[in-house]
Amino acid sequence: MDAAKYIWMNGKFVAWGDAKVHVLSHTLHYGNGVIEGTKAYKTERGYAIFRLNDHTKRLKESAKMTLLNIPYSVEEMNQAQVELIRKNEFKGDNVYIRPFAFLGYGVMGVYHKDAPVETAIAAWEWGAYLGEEGMKKGIKLKIVSMTRPANTSNMGKAKATANYLNSQMAKYEAIDCGYEEALLLDDQGYIAEASGASFFMVKNGVLITPPNDNSLESITQKTVIEMAQKMGITVERRRISREDVYIADEAFLTGTAAEITPVRLIDAREIGCGARGEITEKLQSAYFDIVFGRNKEYEHYLTYV
CA 118 to each of CA 50, 52, 101, 270: distance values in angstroms, whole numbers, following the listed order: 25, 20, 6, 46
Yes or no: is domain 6-125 CATH 3.30.470.10? yes
Quick check: 81 and 56 in contact, CB under 8 A?
A: yes
Euclidean distance between CA atoms 195 and 280, whole angstroms: 20
At residue 169 the predicted structure's pLDDT band, cuts being 50, 70 and 90, is very high
Q: What is the pLDDT of residues 283-296, one digit of tens each?
A: 999 999 999 999 99
Beta-bridge partner residues of 94: 41
- Overall average pLDDT of the 156-169 stretch: 94
State residue 125 phi and psi, 5-degree precision.
-75, 135
95, pLDDT greater than 80? yes
pLDDT at 211 over 90: yes
pTM of the model: 0.95
Q: Establish whether 142 is a catalytic residue.
A: no
**pLDDT for the residue numbered 153:** 86
Is the pLDDT at 131 greater than 80? The verdict is no
State the catalytic residue, choosing from 159, 203, 230, 282. Answer: 159
pLDDT > 90: what percent of the chain? Answer: 91
Q: How far is CA 142 from CA 72, 136, 193, 246, 251, in A?
A: 40, 19, 12, 11, 13
Tell me the C-alpha distance between 185 and 190, whole Å.
5
Q: Do 132-291 and 6-125 have the same topology in CATH?
A: no
Q: Which fold has domain 132-291?
A: D-amino Acid Aminotransferase; Chain A, domain 2 (3.20.10)
Contacts of residue 138, defined as CB under 8 A and 6 or more positions apart, other chains included, come to 261, 262, 263, 264, 265, 271, 274, 275, 276
Q: What percent of the chain has pLDDT over 70?
A: 100
Residue 49 pLDDT more than 80?
yes
Pairing verdict, β 33-35 and 38-43: unpaired
Confidence of residue 7 (pLDDT cuts 50, 70, 90): very high
Task: Indicate the range of 93-97, 129-133, 146-150, 271-275 predicted with least confidence.
Answer: 129-133
**Domain boundaries of the chain, sorted by first residue:** 6-125, 132-291
